[in-house]
């Protein structure tokens, strides 16, 4: 395998109800529309699907939809929790193939590391001492593989006052571990409901918009963006480089799977 193709869906914020809306968008139909868009694109099929947190909106009933939507695609589905997930429930609900929650997974020349950055009762994130040690071990024992590190919370400022109050609290400790290694090629997160691309010491930094509502970039106060749902495609090359693109799903679904309109 010379190229490893991934598709990342993030922050679907599902409910048990199939028609429940969040910020004007019916979250399950929006996720299904994003997946359908990906399935009709040249990026399909990927080798791996990534779902990077806030799988549900504080409603454990939403995980059954994750199983139904992603469970029969015929490929591994790697998941991490976000601040609206319950990590223990998520491990239980997504505890069987094709789902993997946390740890790391190897695919050819690449290792994908899945970090739990949840801080119970907080919208902010934090990596525990144990998780930082697991990250250090996963990078040290990667056996020549390139590494893609995923977490829910942003480890760099997003230049957005309200969002930067709910990022990764101990980002400095995270970077201390990352900087001890030379095999990390990219860091990928959700949480911020907007697209971001940066570079830090040759490491690509990537954030991906939600499959439902987005947040206005660089905003001082919380504000919902009118941009549509989105997902990210990644092509990880065997030389450690990567190609990536955010795909905006221009048709957004509001209220039911049959009505399509713009929403605030």
Which structure tokens are listed for 168? Answer: 């990764």
Q: Is the Cβ of residue 107 or residue 215 nearer to Fe ion in the bound state?
A: 215
CB closer to Fe ion, 194 vs 233:
194
Decide if 156 contacts 186 (C-beta within 8 A): no
Centroid of chain to Cα 120: 19
Tell me how far, at minimum, the Cβ of 122 lies from Fe ion, in Å: 14
Nearest distance from C-beta of residue 84 to Fe ion, angstroms: 6
N-terminal to C-terminal alpha carbon distance within the chain: 43
8-state DSSP, 29: H
Alpha-carbon span 91 to 103, nearest angstrom: 12
Q: Shortest gap between Cβ of 82 and Fe ion (angstroms)?
A: 6
Nearest to 205 by CA among 150, 163, 248: 150
Nearest distance in Å: CB 246, Fe ion: 16
Q: How many Å separate Cα 20 from the centre of its chain?
A: 21
Q: Minimum distance between the CB of residue 12 and Fe ion, rounded to whole angstroms?
A: 9
Whole-angstrom Cα distance, residue 145 to residue 42?
A: 26
Cβ 248 to Fe ion, closest distance in Å?
17
* Helix 129-140 × helix 171-178 angle, to 10°: 20
Spatial CA neighbour of 12 closest among 209, 233, 240, 216: 209
For the bound state, the minimum distance from the C-beta of residue 190 to Fe ion, rounded and expressed in Å, comes to 6
- Decide if 22 contacts 57 (C-beta within 8 A): yes
Binding site for Fe ion (CB under 5 A): 11, 54
Query: Would you say 53 or 76 has its CB closer to Fe ion?
Result: 53
Between residues 89 and 243, which has the closer beta carbon with respect to Fe ion? 89
CB closer to Fe ion, 52 vs 131: 52
> Would you say 9 or 107 has its CB closer to Fe ion?
9
- How far, CA to CA in Å, does 235 sit from each of 130, 146, 171, 238, 260? 30, 13, 27, 10, 31
Q: In the complex with Fe ion, which residue's Cβ is closer, 11 or 37? A: 11
């Amino acid at each position: 395998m010379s190229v490893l193709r991934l598709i990342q869906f993030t922050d679907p914020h599902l409910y048990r109800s199939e028609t429940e809306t969040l910020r004007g968008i019916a979250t399950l139909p929006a996720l299904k529309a994003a997946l359908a868009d990906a399935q009709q694109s040249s990026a399909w099929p990927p080798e791996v699907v990534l779902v990077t947190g806030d799988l549900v909106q504080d409603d454990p009933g939403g995980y059954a939809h994750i199983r139904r939507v992603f469970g029969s695609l015929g490929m591994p589905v790697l998941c991490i929790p976000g601040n609206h997930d319950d990590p223990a429930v998520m491990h239980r609900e997504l505890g069987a193939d094709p789902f993997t929650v946390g740890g790391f997974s190897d695919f050819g020349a690449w290792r994908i590391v899945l970090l739990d950055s949840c801080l119970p009762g907080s919208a902010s994130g934090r990596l525990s001492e144990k998780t930082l040690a697991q990250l250090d071990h996963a990078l040290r024992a990667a056996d020549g593989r390139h590494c893609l590190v995923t977490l829910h919370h942003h480890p760099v400022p997003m230049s957005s006052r309200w969002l930067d109050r709910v990022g990764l609290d101990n980002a400095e400790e995270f970077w201390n571990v990352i900087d001890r290694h030379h095999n990390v090629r990219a860091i990928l997160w959700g949480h911020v409901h907007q697209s971001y691309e940066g570079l830090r010491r040759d490491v690509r930094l990537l954030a991906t918009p939600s499959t439902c509502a987005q947040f206005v970039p660089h905003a001082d106060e919380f504000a919902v963006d009118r941009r549509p749902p989105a997902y990210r495609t990644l092509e990880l090359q065997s030389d450690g480089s990567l190609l990536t693109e955010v795909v905006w799903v221009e048709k957004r679904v509001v209220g039911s799977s049959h009505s399509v309109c713009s929403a605030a």
